[in-house]
Structure 1
Amino acid sequence: MSEQQRYKLHWITAIIEMLKTMKEAILPLVVLVFANGWKGGGTGPWYFEYLSFIIFGVLIISLFVSGIIKWKRFEYWFEDDELRIESGLFVKKKRYIPFDRIQSLDYTEGIFHRPFGLVKVKVETAGGSSMKKAEGELTAITKVAAERIKIELAEAKKRKKEKPVVEGEETLLADDSWEVPVEETVSLRKIFSMSTKDLLILATTSGGIGVILSGVAIFMSQFADLIPFEWMYEEISAFIKFGVLIVAIAVFLGLFGVWILSVGMTFLSHYNFTVSLDKEDIIITRGLLEKKRVTVPLKRIQSVVLIENPFRKVFGYASVKIHSAGGGVGESSRINLFPLVKRSEVETYLSEIFPELYLEEPSKKPTSKGRPYYYRIDFLWMLPVIGALIYFFFPYGLFSLTIIPVIVAYGIWQHRSAAYEIVDHQLIMRFRAFSLQTAYTMKKRIQSMEMKQSYFHRRKGVATILVNVKSGMGSYQATVQHMDVEDAEMILDWYEKGKRPDPFSFDEDEVEKGLR
């Protein structure tokens, strides 16, 4: 066999790899320079005065050399319907990825890619081995080279389809692989996009402020020795003396600044968020500085989940997530299909992508028999806590009694939110933790189903149903708690009838007919 042409990555790969390693080790590097620096007394050699900075410089040079080695020693090529990757200097790594196992190609254009017209390509397979790392990654290649991979993949599909089937020969393929015939590329059909107003509402209600504040707290805990807390305490104490109004204005301005930062982060990451559709895949693009393109094969989607956050519901908004099977990248398991969408328009958008789904709200609700179980356990374990607060902090501890109606009200809220329904070969389950979730799942996508019933459940005739569907390398669980046991058994019976029969089992009635 003639040697196949091998391809290299772009030289910017060396810089990107260096920065990636620096990002992962930024905390030790900062501690090295600012926290553990050598302080000479002026009597030793001059380099003792700057030893930490010299070590920092040596590390930067080492990282840059390492990036150059990774770039120079990385090659990829196409052979025997496989994408083959070879890398490493002292330890050579070879990875062969069959085209018939490739689930999707995801593209990212970062700030170092866009000036040179480059993209980063992540190769996802149907059975990726890691939740955080792609099966294959090409750090920086031209768009022409990225298109070449798509062409090789399409030609491999065509060859696979045209390959004659030998009688008695069995081929092991991924689930539903190569079901759709390869045709000419069709133009993408735009389904959904987010406006600037949607981005602002998303940023305000997404919890980004909490992420920023927690990041500040982590930074302060790591560099507590360098922060002059005593000076800060004295300055804050003096500032408080200016009056409540001035302090309130300062706090408001601080929170407003954090909110602006959160809006900016959300705007950059979700800018021009667009969902498009072709014959086989959902294409999601987003980002301003770093433009990302994620491809989600329709045949790999296991469940569609509508999430209604109480705060967003006030403005008439909701979000939709989808769970995809397989893949090596964590983002591919639980994907934001619509991060923020008008609740009244959800069915319209989803029906364009999933015309086979029944998208009405479930109509069957748990009866009043199961209502006490929604708050009974929380009520029981809180009683000792309330008793201790009353005993040690009397009379102020009596205020802890207000927890009881809150627990009961929360349980009743969960009970009223729960619902379920079976429509042909589809199961709809609605449940609530804090946000209301409605899961739409086809029977053939359900991995397992379980009915749980405690002693107290059996006395009242109620049970809990748990449904598991594939999500990345893990699973997503939908549940309706404390429903009537007759309804739970009906759902189990519906699922059991859809299972493939055991080839080693037999039907006693059929056996009797045969004997007659």
Structure 2
Amino acid sequence: MMCEPKRQHPSYILIVFLEQIKNVFISLLILLLPGHKSQMFQYIFTALVIILPVVAALIKWYRFTYIVTDDEIRIKSGLFVIENTFIKKERIQSVSITEGIIQQIFRVVSVKIEVAGGKKTECIINAILKEDAKKLLKQLHLSKKIPIDKDIDTKEKKFEVDSDNITSNAVLSVSIKRLILAGITSFEVGIGAAIFASIFSNIEDLIPAGVFRSIYIQLQSFSFLMFFLLFISCLVFALCFTTLRYVLKFANFKLSFSGTHLKISRGLFEKNEFSLSTKRIHGIVIQEGFFRQLIGFASVYVEAVGASDTQENKRHVIHPFIKKKDIPMFLQTFIPMIDYTEAIHSPPSRARKGYYGWTVIIFFLISLLLVSIPFIHTWIFSILLVGLFIGEIRYRYAGFSLIGRTLILRSGFISKTTAIIPKDRIQVLTQQQSILQKNSKLKTISATILSSQFGRTYKVRSLDELDVNNIMNWFS
């Protein structure tokens, strides 16, 4: 056991400095361009931007210490105000390891410890040697009497999901070809478009005025077709950017199952490792985006206490891109304690009007707002048809299933979401019935599970009243 307070690796100073510089990089670049303020102001501001983060990083590094005792981990940190944090080991829900580019250079990692009932991540050690991180994980596991994840036997056969049939091996990896296809169908073009829009909003400050004026004059001479081609080119560029981002994020993806723990590792430049006890899993989520449905693929996530992932809506990905037909075998292999079936009971046909109602009303209001725009009034009927189409999709996506001690709820709008929830993990099960639903003998069912810090609710609208009553009787 560690008896003396330990500090982070000195590389933490560089990591914090670069992080702060990254946040002000664009502003600093614009300020240093000719034609902005006086040179003296530029030099003073630049010096402050460089010196202050270094000083802050030095103080943070010096003030941050941690000690691991027999029953708790103690953190002392703070820049101007000292904060002491005491975390009981039995309250620790998960421990994850992240290794960024700078950290890889110094052979250090970031250890994130999450606690049950915490409003935030309780402890992040941003720069610790790999050897010390392994010792820390070992102490935490031993204190909780949890088996430690050991390295997979080199003789154990690894398989790629490119194969048509998933076998019952305990290790899974995803090929680059699959990740490229997953990136293309991830529907994250909006992220790339937002980044490019942010860059273009400052382009006038980033290029010489003469060049900007020439570009502006050239754009004025563009025809409609040229603007359309430019728009398509920007979309393709954004698609390439988001696909590359997706591939780098999930490169070297590996999932292993040791009987009590799932171990997930991923990332090329920023490596992430996460160990999750199967006892912490409160549900499984199958996400099928619009384009992925067309080719029969989906992503699989786990809902678990402490499994916060800011990039994945506070869920952890256990398979980024899997064939829909392979999901039952995949879950049986890696999460055998949860039952799953693809058989879904859909809402009755009389529920259609409930799914159509709000979407048609919303699109009707949109059409009223657009009717005054020239040439748009001829498309009003088409806009209403879009509302009907979306209502039909929502109706077809909705459904439920009961299998053993597991409740399956399915719903969606653009993407289809299937939540697989064990009975003993449901915190609250609610039925609702509006006046219109009462006349049609329909009810809405919603299930809340403990996930992340606030919990998460999954809902299916306008199911048959008898079906919802059966679900409530099953839960009681």
Instruction: Measure, in 2, the Cα distance between the counterparts of 1:395 and 1:34.
Output: 45
Instruction: Measure, in 1, the Cα distance between the counterparts of 2:53 and 2:112.
Output: 23
**Per-residue deviation, 1:341:** 1.0
| Residue 404 of structure 2 corresponds to residue 424 of structure 1 | yes
Task: Note closer, same or farther for the CA distance 1:183–1:267 as it changes in structure 2 (3 Å cut).
Answer: closer
Contact 2:184 2:239 in 1 (8 A): yes
Match of 1:138 in 2: 125
Match of 1:233 in 2: 216
Instruction: Measure, in 2, the Cα distance between the counterparts of 1:36 and 1:98.
Output: 57
Q: Secondary structure at the match of 1:451?
A: strand
**Per-residue deviation, 1:269:** 1.4
Gaps of 5+ in 2: 153-168
Task: Note closer, same or farther for the CA distance 1:248–1:366 as it changes in structure 2 (3 Å cut).
Answer: closer
Equivalent position to 2:45, from 23, 35, 55: 55
**Per-residue deviation, 1:121:** 0.9
Residue type at the aligned position of 2:215: M
Contact 1:318 1:341 in 2 (8 A): yes
Contact 1:300 1:324 in 2 (8 A): yes
Residue type at the aligned position of 1:482: S
**Per-residue deviation, 1:255:** 4.3
How does 1:80-159 map onto structure 2 within 5 Å? 80-88=70-78, 90-130=80-120, 134-158=121-145
**Per-residue deviation, 1:285:** 0.8
Match of 1:177 in 2: none
Instruction: Measure, in 1, the Cα distance between the counterparts of 2:20 and 2:148.
Output: 41
Contact 1:186 1:279 in 2 (8 A): no
Residue type at the aligned position of 1:19: L
Match of 2:243 in 1: 263
Larger Rg: 1
How does 1:342-381 map onto structure 2 within 5 Å? 342-381=323-362
**Per-residue deviation, 1:251:** 5.8
How does 1:278-297 map onto structure 2 within 5 Å? 278-297=258-277
Match of 1:74 in 2: 64
Match of 1:512 in 2: none
Deviates more, 1:277-286 or 1:453-462: 277-286
Contact 1:124 1:329 in 2 (8 A): no
Match of 1:17 in 2: 16
**Per-residue deviation, 1:395:** 7.7
Contact 1:125 1:327 in 2 (8 A): no
Instruction: Measure, in 1, the Cα distance between the counterparts of 2:470 and 2:275.
Output: 37
Residue type at the aligned position of 2:98: T
Task: Note closer, same or farther for the CA distance 1:216–1:53 as it changes in structure 2 (3 Å cut).
Answer: farther
| Residue 293 of structure 2 corresponds to residue 313 of structure 1 | yes
**Per-residue deviation, 1:283:** 1.4
Match of 2:173 in 1: 193
Contact 1:74 1:88 in 2 (8 A): yes
Match of 1:166 in 2: none
**Per-residue deviation, 1:230:** 4.6
**Per-residue deviation, 1:452:** 1.6
**Per-residue deviation, 1:405:** 2.9
Contact 2:2 2:67 in 1 (8 A): no
Task: Note closer, same or farther for the CA distance 1:482–1:12 as it changes in structure 2 (3 Å cut).
Answer: same
Instruction: Measure, in 2, the Cα distance between the counterparts of 1:384 and 1:328.
Output: 38
**Per-residue deviation, 1:225:** 6.0
Percent of paired sites with the same residue? 27
* CA distances 1:311-347 after superposition (whole Å, capped 9, x unpaired): 1122221111221124666468312221111122111
**Per-residue deviation, 1:211:** 1.0
| Residue 326 of structure 2 corresponds to residue 336 of structure 1 | no
Match of 2:164 in 1: none
Residue type at the aligned position of 1:66: A
Deviates more, 1:85-94 or 1:479-488: 85-94
How does 1:477-492 map onto structure 2 within 5 Å? 477-492=457-472
**Per-residue deviation, 1:222:** 5.4
**Per-residue deviation, 1:404:** 2.8
Residue type at the aligned position of 1:127: G
Instruction: Measure, in 2, the Cα distance between the counterparts of 1:209 and 1:396.
Output: 26
**Per-residue deviation, 1:72:** 2.4
Q: Secondary structure at the match of 1:279?
A: coil
Q: Secondary structure at the match of 2:67?
A: strand
Task: Note closer, same or farther for the CA distance 1:383–1:65 as it changes in structure 2 (3 Å cut).
Answer: closer
Q: Secondary structure at the match of 2:339?
A: coil
Residue type at the aligned position of 1:339: P
**Per-residue deviation, 1:34:** 4.5
Task: Note closer, same or farther for the CA distance 1:118–1:485 as it changes in structure 2 (3 Å cut).
Answer: same
How does 1:448-467 map onto structure 2 within 5 Å? 448-467=428-447
* CA distances 1:82-135 after superposition (whole Å, capped 9, x unpaired): 1112224643222111111112221111112223321111111122222xxx21
**Per-residue deviation, 1:157:** 2.6
Task: Note closer, same or farther for the CA distance 1:13–1:184 as it changes in structure 2 (3 Å cut).
Answer: closer
Instruction: Measure, in 2, the Cα distance between the counterparts of 1:185 and 1:319.
Output: 25
Task: Note closer, same or farther for the CA distance 1:321–1:383 as it changes in structure 2 (3 Å cut).
Answer: same
Contact 2:307 2:315 in 1 (8 A): no
| Residue 371 of structure 2 corresponds to residue 411 of structure 1 | no
* TM-score scaled by length of structure 1: 0.80
**Per-residue deviation, 1:281:** 2.1
Deviates more, 1:341-350 or 1:396-405: 396-405
Contact 2:138 2:148 in 1 (8 A): no
Task: Note closer, same or farther for the CA distance 1:457–1:183 as it changes in structure 2 (3 Å cut).
Answer: closer
Task: Note closer, same or farther for the CA distance 1:254–1:216 as it changes in structure 2 (3 Å cut).
Answer: closer
Task: Note closer, same or farther for the CA distance 1:322–1:76 as it changes in structure 2 (3 Å cut).
Answer: same
Aligned pair count reads 456
Task: Note closer, same or farther for the CA distance 1:493–1:30 as it changes in structure 2 (3 Å cut).
Answer: farther
Residue type at the aligned position of 1:218: S
* CA distances 1:259-308 after superposition (whole Å, capped 9, x unpaired): 33333222221111111122332111111111111222211111111122
